[in-house]
Structures are given as C-alpha cells and as structure tokens.
Amino acid sequence: MSNTVGMKKDSAAKIMTSIKSSSLSILRIIREQHIWVFLFICMVVFSLASPYFFTLNNIGNVLTQGSFIGFLAVGMTLVMLNGEIDLSVGATLALSSALAIGLQESIGIWPAILVALLSGAFFGFINGALVALSGIHSFIITLGSLMGIRGIVFIFTGEEALMTSDYSYTEYPEIYIGPVSLTAMIFFGFALFFQWILSKTRHGLETYAVGDNEKSAHEAGIRVRRHKVINFTLCGLLAGVAGVLLSMRLGTAEPNAARIWELWTIIAVVLGGTRLTGGYGSMWKTVGGVITLAALLNGLRLLNTPNYIELIVMGTVLVLALILDKTLTSSQSR
C-alpha cells in the first residue's frame, strides 16, 4: 500500500518536474528567441488591422525594404559580437552609392560598382585598423569616420544628387522569384553565409571568444587585432553592397542618403537580441530583428499613420525590448 502511494508520489513528482522543465524550456526559447514571438505578434496585429498587409506582394515588399538595413545589420552584428560598434555604416553606404553612380560615365558600370564595393571595404578596413592599432574605442573612431566619410561624400558629389544616365542600371536588381526580389535574396544569402561562418568556422567561433573576453582570447592565442580588422572590413564591404543595390533601386545617389541609418541598424540588431557588450547573438536573431523592423514600418505605413507615430513606436519598442531582455536574463540568473 505504502509502496503504491510512494510510487504515485514518485510519478506525480516526475510529471511535475517534467512540466516544470518543459515550461522552463519554453521560457528559455522565448528568452533566447523572443524576436520571433514579437515578429509573429506584429504579423497577426497588422494582418487584422489591414487587409493589404498579409499579401504575397506586400511580404515581398517588406523583405526588399528591410534588406538595405539588413546588409548593414549583418555587418554590424559581426562587429557587435566582437564587442565593438560601427557608427559609420550609413555614411559608407552613401559613399558607395555615390561612387557607383558618379563613376559610371567615366569608367563604365561594372568597374564603378567594383570601386564602390572596394570603397566600402577600404573604409571598413581603415576603421578596423585604427581601432586595432590605436586602442581607441570603436565608438569614438567610427563617430569620427561617420562625419569624415560623409564629408568625402559631399566633396565627391559636390552637394548634388547624382543620377544615372543609363536606365537599364535600375533594371539589374529587378529579378524576382515569386515575390522575393534579387536584393532580398542577396541579403538572405549573406545572412546565411555569415551564420555559417559564425557557427561553423574558426573565425566565427573566435568572434564570440573575442567579444566575450578579449584578454583571455588574446592569451588563448587568438590574433585579436587582425580578427577585428577583418570584421570591420566585412562590415564596410556589406555597407558597400547595400549602397550599390540602393543606387540601383533608386537610380540616383544623394549625398544625404542613409543619414541616421546607423541608428536603425543598431535598433534592428538590438531588437534581435544581440548584446552590445559582445559575445552573445547570432545572424538569425539579426534577420529576425531586421524583418520585424521592416514589418513594423511597413504595417504602420499601410495603416496610414502619420510619420511621427513610426518614430514614437520605434523608440518605445526599443526600450520595451531592452526591458524584456533585462527581465528575462535576470530571471534566468536567479
């Protein structure tokens, strides 16, 4: 008799623990992947609010519109995982888009695109080299280059918007698979590639190690400086890619393009859950953040809300995401 009671108690306890552990694992999933939950809620809300939101065409739109911030965000994630930050991505984007259009006449379309991409990588390299060699925090270095590179854009364009004379240039990214544009496909390709780099290659694993604890990474034999230079260069290159694609989409390049996009980029990356302090995050989360941001902006525009609502919602969402992240992490550590 007592034996069966004991067994019952035992099995009850087992069930309790299994319930507890499954609810814990759900909590853990929410904690680590809350961006997808958030994206889902956004999708549902906007689908209910606007009949145009959840259509194939519009989803394709969201992906294309998000891609431009997306390229910057992929690069920013690499840099942020290192515990650094790059504020100059918006200016780099503007420079590469100005070069891609401005040099077309003199050297032809493809060489101009090549120069534009290289300019992105070059200024990324300069940022990384300055960070690695001087030991100045990347916030200061890239705050400087944010202004400096924008200055170069203004000097190159002479304060005027450049326009392509060859309209076939704007046709290049007009390739679609279903509703997904070439731009979005390139973005997902890069995100996939760098997720693979992060999770499967030595460089990726070292990225986390450097961001987690730079000193011990150095002592473990990782070449921290070279490593950072590579990540900054990649970040610049991705900004260059975004610039070229944006110039193709618009057919023009104006010197003020992508002003304060570095802020939207940081918002997308942080929404995804990557930590500014480095060592924690992934490309998937960033993709989630980018799509959520794009869906939010797109949904608000479909609802015909005035411009300021979008700014206010973004600010509020960002603070809430931060509070949520904080609460979930502290409940984990308790």
SS3 of residue 306 by DSSP: coil
333 makes contact with another protein (CB under 8 A): no
Considering beta carbons, is residue 85 or 113 the nearer one to another protein?
Answer: 85
Exactly one of 6, 108, 111, 151 binds another protein (CB under 8 A); that residue is: 151
**Angstrom distances, CA of residue 271 to CA of 23, 211, 268:** 24, 19, 5
Stretch that binds another protein, among 13-21, 43-51, 57-65, 143-151 (CB under 8 A): 143-151
Q: Are 152 and 122 in contact (CB under 8 A)?
A: no
Exactly one of 52, 54, 115, 154 binds another protein (CB under 8 A); that residue is: 154
315 makes contact with another protein (CB under 8 A): yes
Report the length, in residues, of the chain.
Answer: 334
140 makes contact with another protein (CB under 8 A): yes
134 makes contact with another protein (CB under 8 A): yes
Q: Is 85 left (phi over 0), alpha (psi -120 to 50) or beta?
A: beta
Residue 60 CA to residue 56 CA, distance in Å, equals: 6
Residue given tokens 């290289």 in the structure block: 118
Min dist. Cβ of residue 109 to another protein (A): 27
223 makes contact with another protein (CB under 8 A): no
Write out the binding residues for another protein, residues 22-41 only, by CB under 8 A: none
Considering beta carbons, is residue 131 or 248 the nearer one to another protein?
Answer: 131
221 makes contact with another protein (CB under 8 A): no
- Distance separating the N- and C-terminal Cα atoms of the chain: 40
Strand partners, 180: 177
Residue 223 CA to residue 237 CA, distance in Å, equals: 21
143 makes contact with another protein (CB under 8 A): yes
Q: For the purposes of burial, counting CB atoms within 10 Å of the CB of 143, is it exposed (0-12), middle (13-18) or buried (19 or more)?
A: middle
Summarize as ranges the residues that interact with another protein (CB under 8 A): 85, 130, 132-137, 139-141, 143-148, 150-152, 154-155, 159, 225, 263, 266-267, 270, 276, 306-312, 314-316, 318-319, 322-323, 326
